[in-house]
Amino acid sequence: MVEIATEPSALPEVKDMPVKMIPQVLRAGLRDFLRAPAFGLFFSAVYVLGGLVLWWVFTSRGQEIWLMPFILGFPLVAPFAAVGLYEVSRRLEAGEPLLWPAVLGVVFAQKDRQLPSMAVVVLLLFMFWIFIAHMTFAMFMGFQAMTNVTSDPWGVLLTGNGPAMLAFGTLVGGAFAAVLFAFTVVGLPLLLEREVDFITAIITSVQAVVANPWAMTVWAAVIAGCLFLGMLPFFLGLLVVLPVLGHASWHMYRGLTS
């Protein structure tokens, strides 16, 4: 039976995190994945299947170019793949048994807590990013180029204003991802571990990022790079990348707070 705290929890204190700790955090994430691979593969498979469905939908319509906004926006929603992995790492850390009903019970119990509110924030920003991506295409390429997307998508991207559009879109997408990263790097595991409201979790998370700008910049770059590499080929690399990063994110949270 899953017990969820109902009384407000004390807030953790934000600590300094040196950059040299990042390899240690990644090793801890890999260790947790190897100790409980079935959980990692289960939670990551949801996102891999989602990516394959998107790929099939767009390619079957000859609109592969519209995969780009979703690929660039993936780091916005990827942290939610880690919620179950946080619980696995927490149990490994505490020496608690890894039982499927218990782990899944904790994940499902989040619907009655603050995680759905955080999910709404992420979803709104993700949808806004998709809107901005479409507007960026229209501004740089014009409506005439849209008629060529189906017949020659890569020709549209790599000629004329295509490279400038890709550069601008990447910068804007990076800005969105940076905001969500600041909100969730501590906010999500904090919501899982303690009984706090989502606004407090976001504020605490931003404070941790502000207190460790260099380490958090490197960590965000590591996450983004691993996620993009994990999407090759056909998102299958995410079966390993997501679990390792998810478990590592829990250990990063532990390193940033006390």
pLDDT of residue 5: 47
Going by C-beta distance under 8 Å and a sequence separation of 6 or more, which residues neighbour residue 188?
A: 79, 80, 82, 83, 86, 115, 118, 201, 249
Q: In the chain, which residues have pLDDT < 70? A: 1-7, 62-81, 143-158
CA dist., res. 245 & res. 226, Å (int): 8
- pLDDT the model gives residue 167: 86
- Position 2 scores a pLDDT of 42
| Res 145: pLDDT | 53
Those residues with Cβ within 8 angstroms of residue 255's Cβ, 6 or more apart along the chain or in another chain: 15, 17, 21, 25
Separation of alpha carbons 29 and 251, rounded Å: 7
Structure-block tokens of residue 121: 């924030």
State the pTM of this model: 0.84
Q: Which pLDDT score is estimated for 55?
A: 77
In angstroms, rounded to a whole number, what is the distance separating the alpha carbons of residues 83 and 106?
9
Structure tokens at 132: 């901005």
Q: Cα-flanking dihedrals φ and ψ of residue 75, to 5°?
A: -60, -15
pLDDT, tens digit (0-9, with 9 covering 90-100), for 96-108: 999 999 998 988 8
Q: What is the pLDDT of residue 81?
A: 66
Strand partners, 144: none
Query: What whole-number distance in Å separates Cα of residue 54 and Cα of residue 200?
Result: 34
What contacts 24+ positions apart, CB below 8 Å, involve 156-162? 156/65, 157/65, 157/68
How would you class 112 by CB atoms within 10 Å of its CB: exposed for 0-12, middle for 13-18, buried for 19 or more? Answer: exposed
For residues 144-178, one letter each, b for 16 or more C-beta atoms within 10 angstroms of the residue's C-beta and e for the rest, the string is ebeeebeeebeebbeeebbeebbeebeebbeebbb
Please give the radius of gyration of the chain, using alpha carbons only, rounded to the nearest integer: 19
